[in-house]
């Protein structure tokens, strides 16, 4: 578990690759044997990163084609590590020589340069690029397929971009049907249009905007999670913060809970159709670090894209002189649309890990043949 390249205890993922290196990939270790899994299952998730409108996301049409190198035999997982990767066909390393000594404000360039010196792969942010999240999506595809066998569904969508908020509370059906029909990955078509406009306006001004992604995990059984330091909310929050540009995470009522009275915040228990449920879900489906049986509801706040064409102050580290920077190249004027499948994947990965740990999933699916 050195150097922060791996996460998980029973469903362990190790990510490799750099933004402008040869490839980006992931090794998933701990996936039970007997899960039907094909390249198509992973490709389907990767394709969610392809911009519907390149002007809304980045001009780089990341047409990533997955290759599975190991862990699958006759269309099923074997229980061995699953290694998948995509080749970086569109990498243009030379494009980043200009920023080698001139850190972009808001990006990881400066602390990376001080920590790793000349050994850091600065091209496109190297290991600190949003492109690394391709690996999260590939591992997330495996996790989602696994969770699906146990009836768990994880769905994410944009609820806010710039200052434009999603106007309605979408149903699960609307989220499934509409999210990927819109360029901004928002299930309400009207709000989506306004979100697009706010991105285009920022882009025209050489600027960027941030936003909020909400994620719902349905049908998670009661009791997934471990006490204290391995609580489900802590692990979900940790991995969400591992997504570059995520600056805030909240569950259920989140920060609003601080302004409620106990009587307002408590989710009261009732019996519906013979099942214990709660009248509200201010807890976001997690109590005491364990799933409560209600949908897990988590939100991640993403900052505006740091690389912007607008002129900003920085320092030329080679001369130790103040200078100005306008970041060129293919950057997303808003990270949210591409982050939606990433957030979905991250939540699925943590849930798969915890469901295995809590014994809700066997090591060999369907028993040994």
Ligand X SMILES: Cc1cc2nc3c(=O)[nH]c(=O)nc-3n(C[C@H](O)[C@H](O)[C@H](O)COP(=O)(O)O)c2cc1C
Where along the sequence are the contacts to ligand X (CB under 6 A)? 58, 107-108, 125, 128-130, 133, 243-245, 303, 305-307, 331-332, 335, 338-339, 342
Return the structure tokens found at 301.
Answer: 């706040």
- Min dist. Cβ of residue 108 to ligand X (A): 4
Closest contact distance (angstroms) between CB of 184 and ligand X is 13
Q: CB nearer to ligand X: give 145 or 331.
A: 331
The nearer residue to ligand X, 81 or 309, going by C-beta atoms, is 309
Q: Residue 181: phi, psi to the nearest 5?
A: -85, -20
For residue 364, the minimal CB distance to ligand X (Å) is 35
Q: Which is nearer to ligand X, 32 or 244 (CB)?
A: 244
Nearest distance from C-beta of residue 85 to ligand X, angstroms:
17
**Are residues 11 and 356 in contact, defined by beta-carbon separation less than 8 angstroms?**
yes
Task: Please say which residue, 89 or 328, places its beta carbon nearer to ligand X.
Answer: 328
Three-state DSSP at 324 gives strand
Beta-carbon-side half-sphere exposure of residue 237 (alpha carbons within 13 Å): 17
What is the residue-wise DSSP string for 198-247? Answer: HHHHHHHTT--B-EEEEEEEESPPTT-S-SGGG-HHHHHHHHHHTSTTEE
- For residue 324, the cross-strand partners are 313
Residues sharing a CB contact under 8 Å with residue 213, sequence separation 6 or more, in sequence order: 156, 157, 158, 159, 299, 300, 302, 336, 339, 340, 343
Taking the complex as a whole, the smallest distance from the CB of residue 332 to ligand X amounts, in Å, to 4
Q: How far is CA 95 from CA 90, 91, 331, in A?
A: 12, 9, 12
Size of the chain, expressed as the number of residues it contains: 369
Specify the residue, 286 or 340, whose C-beta has the smaller distance to ligand X: 340
Distance CA 169, CA 226 (A): 31
| Residue 199 Cβ vs ligand X, minimum distance, rounded to whole Å | 13
For ligand X, the closer CB: 31 or 245: 245
Q: Between 244 and 252, whose beta carbon lies closer to ligand X?
A: 244
Least Å distance, CB 70 to ligand X, is: 26
Q: Which residue is nearest to ligand X (CB)?
A: 130
């Amino acid at each position: 578990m050195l150097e922060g390249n791996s996460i998980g205890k029973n469903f362990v993922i190790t990510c490799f690759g750099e933004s402008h290196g040869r490839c980006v990939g992931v090794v998933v270790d701990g996936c039970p044997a007997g899960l039907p899994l094909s390249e198509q299952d992973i490709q389907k998730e990767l394709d969610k990163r392809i911009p519907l409108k390149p002007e809304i996301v980045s001009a780089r049409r990341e047409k990533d084609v997955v290759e599975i190198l190991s862990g699958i035999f006759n269309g099923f997982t074997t229980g061995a590590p699953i290694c998948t990767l995509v080749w970086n066909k569109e990498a243009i390393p030379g494009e980043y020589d200009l920023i080698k000594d001139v850190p972009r404000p808001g990006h990881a360039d400066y602390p990376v340069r001080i920590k790793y010196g000349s050994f850091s792969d600065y091209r496109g942010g190297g290991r600190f690029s949003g492109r690394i999240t391709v690996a999260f999506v590939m591992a997330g595809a495996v996790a989602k397929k696994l969770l699906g066998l146990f009836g768990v569904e994880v769905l994410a969508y944009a609820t806010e971009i710039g200052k434009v908020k999603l106007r309605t509370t979408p149903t699960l059906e609307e989220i499934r049907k509409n999210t990927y029909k819109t360029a901004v990955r928002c299930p309400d078509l009207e709000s989506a249009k306004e979100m697009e406009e706010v991105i285009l306006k920022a882009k025209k001004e050489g600027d960027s905007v941030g936003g909020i992604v909400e994620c719902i995990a349905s049908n998670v059984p009661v009791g997934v999670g471990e006490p204290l330091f391995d609580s489900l909310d802590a692990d979900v929050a940790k991995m969400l913060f591992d997504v570059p540009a995520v600056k805030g995470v909240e569950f259920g009522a989140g920060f609003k809970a601080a302004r409620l009275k106990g009587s307002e915040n408590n989710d009261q228990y009732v019996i519906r159709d013979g099942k214990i449920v709660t009248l509200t879900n201010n807890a976001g489906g997690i109590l005491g670090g364990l799933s409560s049986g209600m949908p897990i509801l988590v939100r991640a706040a993403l900052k505006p894209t740091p690389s912007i064409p607008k002129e900003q102050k920085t320092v030329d580290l080679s001369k130790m002189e103040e200078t100005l920077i306008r970041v060129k190249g293919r950057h997303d004027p808003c990270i949210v649309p591409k982050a939606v499948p990433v957030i979905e994947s991250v939540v699925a990965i943590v849930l798969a890990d915890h469901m295995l740990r809590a014994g809700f999933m066997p090591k060999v699916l369907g028993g040994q043949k």
